[in-house]
Amino acid sequence: MKTRNALAALLALSLVATAQQRRPQTLYQKLEAAHDPGGPAPKRDLTGSWTGPLTPKYVDAPPLTPLGQKLFKANIPDPFSASSNDPWSVCDPLGFPRSDTTETRGMVFAPMPGRMIIMTQYQKIWRSVWMDGRELPKNVGAKGGPDSAWYGYSVGRWDGDYTLVVNTVGLDDRTWIDRRGYPHSVDLRVEERYTRVDHNTLDLTLTIDDPKIYTKPFVLAKNRFYWIPNQEDEEQLCVPSEAIEYKKLIVEPAGQDEAKGKK
Amino acid sequence: MKLRLLMSLICIPVFAHHGSTAYDTSKAVVLKGATVTKYVWANPHVIITLDVKDDKGNVQHWSAEAGTPQTVTLSGWSKTSVQLGDVVTVYIFQSKTGNLVGRLNKIVLADGTELRDSALGYREAEGDGKQ
């Protein structure tokens, strides 16, 4: 009997394995599996289209300040839940750095005179990163200072020949920094370090500093992007009317919140 | 057209995008002769709605979700794969609430073409859903 049970279990496992092997791979998974460096990295050049995973690797946040704890507690994650207050669930702007931590399937670097344009495929976002030596604005959001913005104000510089460092301030505090619901204040400062490891590989380390909300600076996420061979991008949009319809037709009747114990 | 509920053993799956806790993934409901009333090629997930008659001839209105357009494209779907009025067979993991809503396992078109879900279409044992 034991032998028969073991054989049955083995058969079931093999069927699962066979079925899983049939599942098509994403472009990212294919490129990751192929692991082709494509030659050395060109100097000071990230130009082109890159693909990433759905979500980067998150790092645990440090202890929050009392204000941070209060804001974090009020945020209800899961954009696919009827009770969530994730701004993403109604297709509000992801803002920055959320655009670096959510739906990171596509990214484009497009240099222009005096600046680098960084575009993200999801929601067709672009950011201007000034490379002309200017300083970041001060007192953003304060009386007399510039207004905060969904994607803030960014400047960039090369650290050596293969790492682009982008610093950003002035970020609208209505956004979350990731889908876990971590908040930020308008004083948030973000550093992105893009390191081109070889022709086909680009690593990102995202570090944030927001003393009003977190007790110390920390690495929020790490991500890896691969060069897209045919350089074609996809269209990927969060459409408010479609999000509303999805909740009405699927989320609410399916009882997704009840199943997760949210009500 | 008759609604037939065919139960089958299917291995427990895991969703890539978000949770499956709302759905009973231990068995699939099979809707035969279902007429497509809506096919929404959208984020976050593709949606299909269907009308199917039960054993008493009453029309039931079902809704089901699949993966994102990007992921089901890898499985051979497109924005025009399904047309309004198509009569299809659909395998669905129904909501635990008992409401007529669920996660798709696969759609079988009239010509026999199978459109499998990106998350749950590849976790089943061969021969599932057959009496």
Confidence (pLDDT) at B18: 52
Candidates A16, A249, A250; nearest CB to B123: A16
Q: Is residue B8 pLDDT above 80, yes or no?
A: no
The model's pLDDT over B66-104, given as tens digits with 9 standing for 90+, comes to 999 989 999 999 999 999 999 999 999 999 999 999 999
CATH classification at residue B96: 2.40.50.140
Structure confidence by residue, pLDDT tens digits, B15-39: 444 556 789 988 899 999 999 999 9
Amino acid present at A64: L
> In this complex, which of B17, B74, B99 lies closest to A254 when CB atoms are compared?
B99
- B50 by DSSP, 3-state: which? strand
Interface test with A, best of B68, B70, B92, B104 (most A CBs within 10 A): B70
The CATH superfamily holding the domain A45-258 is: Calycin beta-barrel core domain (2.40.128.20)
| A216: Cα within 13 Å, side-chain hemisphere | 5
pLDDT digits (tens, 9 = 90+) for B36-53: 999 999 988 999 999 999
pLDDT band at A114 (very low <50, low <70, confident <90, very high): very high
Q: Name the residue with higher pLDDT: B106 or B17.
A: B106
Angle at A129 between CA A126 and CA A132, to 5 degrees: 145
| Residue B61 in domain | yes
In this prediction, residue A210 carries a pLDDT of 98
Does a structural domain hold residue B78? Answer: yes
| Contact B16/A at CB under 8 A | yes
pLDDT value at position B119? 85
Give the closest-approach CA distance of B33 to chain A in angstroms.
21
Quote the tokens at residue B48. 């299909």
| Structural domain contains residue B6 | no
Residues A260 and B19: their CA atoms lie apart, in Å, by 9
Q: What is the pLDDT of residue B114?
A: 94
**A142, pLDDT greater than 50:** yes
What Rg do the C-alpha atoms of chain B give, in angstroms?
13
Confidence band, pLDDT 50/70/90 cuts, at residue A255: confident
The mean pLDDT value for A144-152 works out to 96
Q: Which of B24, B75, B101 is the mutation pick for testing A, counting most A CBs within 10 A?
A: B101
Task: Give the SS3 label for residue A27.
Answer: helix
Kindly state the average pLDDT of the residues A147-173.
98
Chain B nearest-CA distance from A61, in A, is: 22
Query: Left, alpha or beta for B130 (phi > 0: left; psi -120 to 50: alpha)?
Result: beta
Lowest mean pLDDT among A20-34, A41-55, A146-160, B5-19: B5-19
Interface confidence, given as ipTM, is 0.81
- pLDDT for B3 equals 44
- Confirm whether B42 is domain-assigned: yes
Domain range enclosing B34: 29-116
When divided into structural domains, chain B yields a total of 1
Q: How would residue B124 be classed by pLDDT, with cut points 50, 70 and 90?
A: low
| DSSP label of A83 | T
Give the other-Cβ count within 10 Å of A82's Cβ: 17
Distance CA B57, CA B2 (A): 8
Q: Which of B19, B96, B124 sits opposite A19 (nearest CB)?
A: B124
pLDDT in tens, A198-235: 999 999 999 999 999 999 999 999 999 999 999 999 99
